[in-house]
Each structure stands twice: as structure tokens, then as C-alpha cells.
Amino acid sequence: MTRIDWSGRVVVVTGGGSGIGAGIVEEFRAAGAEVIAADISEDAAAAVAAATGAVPERVDVADAASVAALAASVLGRFGRIDVAVNNAGVGPAVPLADMTLDDWRWLLGIDLFGVIHGLNAFLPHLEANPDGGRFVITSSMSGYAPMSPLGAYAVAKAGVSALAEVLAEELAASGSKVGVTVLAPGPVQTRIGEPQRNRPAAGRGSFLSFAPDAPPEAFLHPREVGRILREAIEAGRQLVPTHPQLWPRVAQRHARIAEAFGESVGGSG
């Protein structure tokens, strides 16, 4: 693993006001980077910035213009972007049949289009950086092993995981100096059980309380996730699960898929 000198590097973190995002902000500030803690909650961004020395910014990732304005603000202040961490997300727990269209639009606007907006806003600046850069997406174990009652969340996370895989292939084929990293967290000490705290009251759905089914010791501190991500970027890794011990759940899904393909091949003769 190559240790990067983060001094003078510029890292943008959406959803940087709490949870995993705040842990990423803290880790990269400790490593010496200039970090922008961007969040839809100005108070949350300001609190993290005050604690870490980061720069607070407000951003609504569901709004393309807001993400573009964030990128422009960072370029105006620092003149470069080295790492764009598309981390903002919501994780409501609700059976798919109970999801309203407004629920779908709200969730996909943040978890899926938030990354798409980040791609449009940040990638050109990463490409323009003579040192290259890293486009980071926070996905989830749910993107690789979907389960109820996080079906809608899994739809979005599977989407951004696919986006990352194809983007990495395309960038490599073009000879780009920009790499892609997908962070796939398992249980982390976050406020995922309060997904609607920043949603206007008029649009809130009736979501279930949700806590990941894992023993307390399995829950990582957000700063630990930040460390995992920093080391993964330094190693040039593309897919970064925080909980490799959860592989059997993913393996079982892959086994079912492989079995289905085998049955189809066997039945075609």
C-alpha cells in the first residue's frame, strides 16, 4: 500500500454532517487533507467542521444545481478536487408494497440520483486534476445481498454499485488517472434508523423502525470506516466491504444465481 501525502489534497464529502460521512471527514482531516463537510443540514455540517477543521457547505444531493454549486464553490476556494466522496444517503425500512411514489422519488433522488449528480458535477474536475483523483461512492451490503425491509434502499444501492463498476471500466479504458472506489458498509454506528429527519414533514411516509440484525460488537465506529476508506484509496482498491465476515450472505445469493444459470444451460440441450 502506498501512503499518500494528503497535505494540500482536497476531499469533498457529501452527507458529511453525521454518521459515516462525519467519520470520513474526521479521518481525512487527521491525514492532512483539506476537507469539505457538505450536508443538507447546515447545522450538522457546521458542527462537524468546528470539531475537525473542515469547511462546512450545504448541499442537497437530490438537486443537480445544488451539487454543481458545491463543486464550483470548492474549485473557487481550493482550485482543485482530488477525492469526491458521494456518501449522502437515506435508508428507510418499509415493505415494497407500502412505498408510495413520493417515497420512491425521495429515496432515489438522494441515494441514486445523488450519485449521478455527483458524477456530472465532480468527474470533469477530477479528470482536469493533473494528479488524477478518486470518485468514491458509498453503497451498502444491501447492494450485494438485498433483504427486507430495505428493498427500496437495496434498489438504489445496487444501482450505484453497477454505476461504479461500469464507470471504473470506462475510465480505465480511456487511460484516465481517475479511479473509482465503492464503499460497501455493513453495520455502522449511524442514524440510519432516522432516515426522514431531513425530509419535509408533509412528504414523510410511514416507515418502520430499523436496526441492523447484528451483535453490538459488529457495529463499527464511523471513524473506523473513514480509515478503511482512506487505506483503500491509497491501495487503489475498487470494492471495499467494511465487514468481510458478511461474505457468506453474498455468497449464498451468488450461489442461487449460479444455480439458476446452470439449470438454464442444462435445460437448453
Q: Has residue 91 been placed in a domain?
A: yes
Query: What is the CATH number for 201?
Result: 3.40.50.720
Q: What pLDDT is attached to residue 220?
A: 82
> Is 153 marked active-site?
yes
Integer Cα distance of 115 and 179 in angstroms: 15
Cα–Cα nearest to 136, from 28, 5, 249 = 28
The CA R_g of the chain, rounded to the nearest whole Å, is 18
Tens-place pLDDT, residues 211-225: 555 556 666 889 999
Integer Cα distance of 211 and 51 in angstroms: 27
C-alpha cell at 161: 454499485
Tens-place pLDDT, residues 27-59: 999 999 999 999 999 999 999 999 999 999 999
Please state the domain count of the chain. Answer: 1
Tens-place pLDDT, residues 3-23: 789 999 999 999 999 999 999
CB 143 within 8 A of CB 130: no
Q: What is the rounded average pLDDT for all residues in the chain?
A: 89
Catalytic, out of 153, 154, 158, 242: 153
Q: Has residue 4 been placed in a domain?
A: no
Q: Has residue 5 been placed in a domain?
A: no
Q: Has residue 3 been placed in a domain?
A: no
The helices-and-strands tally (H runs, E runs) of the chain is 8, 7
Residue with the larger pLDDT of the pair 198 and 110: 110
The answer on pLDDT for 195 being more than 80 is no
Tens-place pLDDT, residues 51-94: 999 999 999 999 999 999 999 999 999 999 999 999 999 887 88
The answer on pLDDT for 269 being more than 50 is no
